[in-house]
A and B are shown apart, each in its own frame.
Chain A
Amino acid sequence: MIVLHVRTGQAAGHLDEHARSVWFGKLDARAKILGIFAFVIAAALLTDPVLVMCALACALVTALLSRLPPRHLAKAYLAALPFLAFASFSVFLFAGFERGISMLARTSACVIALLVLATGTDTFELFSGLRRLRVPGILTTLLMLTHRYLLLLSEELDRMRTARRARGFSGGRSLLDVQAFRVLSNTAGMLLVRSSGRADRIFEALKMRGFSKDMRPWRETRIAALDAAFMLALVAIAASLLLLQMEVFP
């Protein structure tokens, strides 16, 4: 998710703004996390091809209803597709076509649901939601700081790239261009040095303000009726799919 936001660079800001403007983005992060995770766990446990297709359909409907930018969701899904396709192809080779397709549909359902969550929730809200759900502070703090400073480092990298181009560098497209590799490795080294320097300064800034180990969200939020309804709907879908899988219903 962090990588998704950083890879889109400046777009991350617009995404966060868009996330806040649509109804899905306004939902409480905790409700979304619980609902989507319940759905993902259920979808991952499904084996019946029909139910897997149902789960995929549910994920697509959620994505449509969320009113998040479809192009961005499609782009992010396409970025994950090679990994999904590789896993499905392996299953296809060893267990046949039907299972391969089922695997692709199952992983796609999970990925689409998670992409809706990641794209449709302001990044910091998401981490705050995780912290409120009692995910260990050290983990959410690391996520928050990583996200905050990866954005800064990506900006730094952009500036270095511009500086390289401004001085005539245009290599890096061929694996045989040794000179380009030398320049790129120097850039990577410089970025590492700068990151290390920034890390030291951030640590000092944290210490100056009495930080020990946990960055808790300050303002408390309440789960409203709409948040609860969304969460319960997803939990109900997940439970139904699992019950159908276990053939509880006649």
Chain B
Amino acid sequence: MRVLETTKLSFAYDDGTTALRDLTMTLDDGEKVAILGPNGAGKSTLLHLLSGFRMPFDGTVAVCGRKLEQQSADDIRRDLGLLFQDPDDQLFMPTVEEDVAFGPRTLKLDDIEGRVLRGLRSTGIEHLAKRRPHRLSHGMKKRAAIAGILAMDPRVLLLDEPTSGLDPKSRSELVRLLKSMDRTMLIATHDLEAAAEIVDRAIVLNVGVVKEGTIRDIVTDSKVMEEVGLELPAISRLFKELDSMGYPVEALPVSMDQAVAELTKVIDRVGRQARSRGVTKTAGQKKKT
């Protein structure tokens, strides 16, 4: 089922700057899609626009089959969970559990205790339930913000730069968490490495759509990568080096899983070659004797 659809979506700021131009995209139920692009590409604007905070716009937006308009925005927001770039913008209650309970309580949803518990548990911050949100580390604040969204059980998660400002450990923990979630997600990011781990499909945005496809399709298109100023993930760079050193890589890996699979193939291939060379050598030696 199609949960999100935009058709020829265009938006300009009050000062006339075009933020989005003719954007047509879709997001199906259960799909994880990344919006990639440099700063100022319109990624955050797109998420805020989909949430009904940037109006008026040209084109159409439909969320779960309903057309986004001024009148329907409040209703549509119930199906969306927006994670802000700065978690301090969305944590306002005195304790983490109260903050997680805030959405379900204001929306008058059932089983608030259960929702809070599930939200905290799925983000791994049950032990922080009674803590003050503003005293947490940035990574934990992000988790608390995600828990607050999950407790509302939205159809689609809109995540704005989820990995920004995180230390490597918190970043990889968050990536693992998002990867493990079985939810529909639209992630605006310029962190190609994180996107490669989480999403199925990506859209490169630079005011308009530059390219759409898998992360591998995107990273192997050097023209697109250069145009939007994206850098190859470290793992892809490593395999490119291996390729140039004489260890041919079948498909450039973009995530750790792909890298492990590719590395296994390379080692296997090199091992086979070495073995066959060894066999030939031994056969030659036997002939001599």
Contact = CB atoms under 8 A, between A and B. Distances in A.
A64 interface: no
Interface stretch (A38-46, A105-113, A210-218, A223-231): A210-218
Interface in B50-66: 51, 53
Contact of A204 (B53, B78, B106, B107): B53
Contacts of B95: 124
B89 A202 contact: yes
Contacts, number: 77
A94 B108 CA distance: 59
Nearest to B86: A201
B148 A215 contact: no
A22 B152 CA distance: 37
Nearest to A16: B132
A208 B97 CA distance: 18
Interface in A234-248: none
A165 interface: no
B98 A218 contact: yes
Contact of A209 (B48, B97, B98, B103): B103
Interface string A190-220: 0000000010011011111111100111110
A148, A205, A215: most-surrounded residue (chain B CB, <10 A): A205
Interface string B84-113: 101011101111011001110111000010
A102 interface: no
B130 to A, nearest CB: 10
B204 interface: no
A145 B51 contact: no
A205 B78 contact: no
Given A204-B48, A209-B148, A125 B89 contact: no
B92 A148 contact: yes
Contacts of B80: 208
Interface string A140-157: 000011001001100000
A171 interface: no
B140 to A, nearest CB: 16
B259 to A, nearest CB: 36
Given A205-B92, A208-B51, A215-B102, A13 B135 contact: yes
Interface residues of B, number: 32
B74 to A, nearest CB: 8
A122, A128, A201: most-surrounded residue (chain B CB, <10 A): A201
Nearest to B80: A208
- Name A's interface SS: helix
Contacts of A208: 51, 77, 80-82, 90, 103
Contact of B134 (A151, A204, A207, A210): A151
Contacts of A215: 92-93, 102
Contact of B77 (A13, A128, A207): A207
A218 B97 contact: yes
Nearest to A141: B92
B93 A209 contact: no
Interface in A81-118: none
A211 to B, nearest CB: 5
Contacts of B97: 218
Interface in B141-176: 148, 152
B98 A201 contact: no
Nearest to A200: B53
Contact of B92 (A122, A125, A206, A216): A206
Nearest to B152: A209
Nearest to A145: B92
A152 B101 CA distance: 22
B146 to A, nearest CB: 13
A32 B88 CA distance: 30
B94, B95, B97: most-surrounded residue (chain A CB, <10 A): B94
B121 to A, nearest CB: 18
A198 B89 contact: yes
B89 A205 contact: yes
Given A13-B135, A208-B82, A152 B88 contact: yes
Nearest to B78: A210
A204 B51 contact: yes
Contact of A210 (B82, B89, B94, B107): B107
14 contacts: A122-B94, A124-B95, A125-B94, A144-B94, A148-B92, A201-B86, A202-B92, A205-B82, A205-B92, A206-B92, A208-B81, A209-B103, A218-B98, A218-B102
Given A148-B134, A201-B84, A217-B98, 4 more contacts: A152-B134, A202-B89, A210-B78, A218-B105
